Chains A and B, each alone.
Chain A
Amino acid sequence: MPAVTLIEAVTMALAYELEHDSNVVLLGEDIGVNGGVFRATAGLQQRFGKDRVIDTPLAESMIAGLSVGMSTQGMKPVAEIQFLGFIFSALDQLFTQAARMRNRTRGRLSCPMVVRAPYGGGIHAPEHHSESTEALYAHIPGLKVVIPSNPSRAYGLLLAAIRDPDPVIFLEPKRVYRLVKHEVEDNGEAYPLETCFVDREGTDITLISWGAMMHETLQAADELAKEGISAEVIDVATVAPLDVQTLVESVAKTGRALIVQEAPKSGAIGSEIAAELSEKAIMHLLAPIGRVSGYDTVMPYYKLEKKYMPSVQRIVSKAKELMEYV
């Protein structure tokens, strides 16, 4: 089994599906000869040809709108938006067409398409390259929003996203693209969507996160362990629709919940998780539900981005604060 980075796992999954399903086509800006600006599609055009790995004109709404049309024909377009910060002109197509196609035609047509985009901060990128806007898409009924946190999850979840009969927004935490390596077998096995992963079992507090923040969250759990606090760590992975049950079960066991997210605090996935837990697990709670979050502001340019993003330290101290409730 090769040890691969998250970006290599993405390439592996794309290649696997291109190989095994002739309906799958990739499209986007610079994804052909160049293999994408992060090289997610490196080598794929050479291997599968220009009709399967398509360089498009530079127009994001077009990439999304074209994918809608193609997917109504039973093709499975996997579109790359070069950076998530440039998806906004495509939202019209995603929200008004892709998300609703199945519902409005009572199941006659659907959009089995995937939109992939690198997102999140931490790599000293220019303006508009570092935001975490996952809650925007999660708010739209009919879309699924999937965020892998590590290489094996990127492989398994991307396969699932491409095979899913509904439109999926697949957000790749670019800070993690080359951060870690995992042994990933290229066996075509998908992971389930809509299922949280319990990455570490614990009894005192549940730490809930997704995407790049999983790395700080897991480190925080290590730190907490040193102080005798047993943290359960959950990777939400599919932020919409949420697997509420796994979260509730964990909190029922630990009695405490701390949500860690890079996105701005208000109106976010963290807010939704907190609301679900307060509806379904309040009787188990020994402390208020905690959130360690980005701030409700414009993602700062990179001189301040470290100050913006939740750190291991912030997570640990918030967790300890929650532990003080008896």
Chain B
Amino acid sequence: MTQPITEDTVLKTVAKFEVKYLQYLDEDGKPLGKKLPSFAKDTELLRKLYTDMARVRAFDAKAYALQRTGKLGTYPASLGQEAIGVGYGSVMRKEDVLVPYYRSTAGLMQHGVTMAEILTYWGGDERGSDFKYAREDLPIAVPIATQCLNAAGVATAFKLRGQARVAVTEIGEGGTSKGDFYEAINVAGVWRLPVLFVVNNNQWAISVPSEIQTAAETYAQKAIAAGIHCLQVDGNDILAVREAAEQALERARRGEGATLLECISYRLCDHTTADDASRYRTEEEVKQGWRREPMRRLRKYLESLNAWSDADEETMNKTIAEEVEAAVQEYLSMPAPKATDMLDYLYAELPEKLREQRDELARGE
């Protein structure tokens, strides 16, 4: 018979941890406590955040429609998760580098990537990754979790060069099961890298729910083993996401290292246009999800400050619709890429061995 190993005999506690949760607004947009972040009174900024979420939502809807009519490839929307990318993206500086994954549309748009570029990418055209504004942002990562290490690498370059810049990356909660994620947070801890890892916890990795993904109580606590800061936030409360991201970026810029933010949200759409979420989720669950979505919440808060009206909503929707339409036109009217592009950008110089293949493409065979 074994005896239990107990406190009073030999055990002593060598480390203790806790994970904090940040939320400012309840589901109906009412402040939960008295202390809101300082920007919560800046109605101009809040109106912009609201508008930016609406832009992502309208863009997603349009992308869906384009896919359905055969004008776009598979597309992953962010319906219900707009506060995450708009939140962290709104506090990034131009010189920071975003290392996105396929569901980072909101973050990309915040960091200056145009709607037309994003459509071009999902329309199957590499020119979409030739971002005109954020020239150093990495292209979208499709393999899960590779982006975390690439962000750590970008942050290593910043650190070695003594630059006060931050690399920001986003990953789904499913992606945190992968080795690259752990390897990235580990090295970010050891080297105190200026990097922010944002976990977009939308509850589902395609059809696999959180219970199958991890036995941990939170995704945030994975940071504890890596020795980096962590915080769990209500990912549908843009005040919380923005404030937490801003503090993380400041900390990184001060040389205090990396942060992992777990943003709890809910995917209100299918995983991608190729998915049918009704096969694995109940209608009831989705209905519950709609009660917590981020736009309604911020709008209610704005209304309580008398900073938003139906007329504002109407004007906004009209402006955004025009913007999206212009982007679609830009995308659809792009001249087709040249077949030779597929070889011309592979190496800095075309290897002799590929010249024949290039000639064949140039002849249009």
Contacts and interface: CB of A to CB of B under 8 A. Distances in A.
A68 B179 contact: no
A229 interface: no
Interface in B118-165: 126-127, 129-131, 135-136, 138-139, 141-143, 146, 148-158, 160
A96 B143 contact: yes
B352 A244 contact: yes
A243 B355 CA distance: 12
Interface in A203-232: none
B127 to A, nearest CB: 6
Contacts of B179: 59, 61, 89
A110 B135 CA distance: 12
B33 interface: no
B136 A56 contact: no
Contact of A109 (B138, B342, B346): B138
Nearest to B127: A106
Contact of A104 (B126, B136, B152, B154): B126
Contacts of A62: 149, 152, 180, 183-184, 186-187
A72 interface: yes
Contacts of A69: 99, 138, 149-157, 167
Contacts of A141: 346
Interface in B319-365: 341-342, 345-348, 351-354
B126 A106 contact: yes
A245 interface: yes
Nearest to B125: A106
Contacts of A102: 345-348
Interface in A133-187: 141-142, 144, 164-166
A107 B156 contact: no
A317 interface: no
A313 interface: no
Contacts of B141: 97
Nearest to A95: B143
A75 interface: yes
A107 B351 contact: no
B154 A70 contact: yes
Contact of B348 (A65, A105, A106, A165): A165
Nearest to B186: A57
B190 interface: yes
Nearest to B160: A51
Prevailing SS type, chain B contact patch: helix
How big is chain A's contact interface, by range? 35 or more
Nearest to B149: A65
Nearest to B351: A241
A242 interface: yes
A103 B149 contact: no
A56 B187 contact: yes
A37 interface: no
Interface in A98-115: 101-110
A57 B126 CA distance: 34
A278 to B, nearest CB: 15
Interface in A246-273: none
B353 A241 contact: yes
Nearest to A141: B346
B156 A103 contact: no
Nearest to A66: B153
B146 A96 contact: yes
A96 B154 CA distance: 17
A103 B99 CA distance: 17
Task: Enumerate the 4 nearest inter-chain pairs by beta-carbon distance, A residue then B residue, closest first.
Answer: A69-B153, A65-B149, A241-B351, A73-B157
Given A59-B179, A92-B180, A104-B129, 11 more contacts: A62-B180, A65-B146, A66-B150, A69-B151, A70-B154, A70-B156, A72-B136, A73-B97, A104-B139, A110-B348, A243-B352
Interface of A: 25, 51, 56-57, 59, 61-62, 64-75, 77, 89, 92-93, 96-97, 101-110, 141-142, 144, 164-166, 194, 241-245
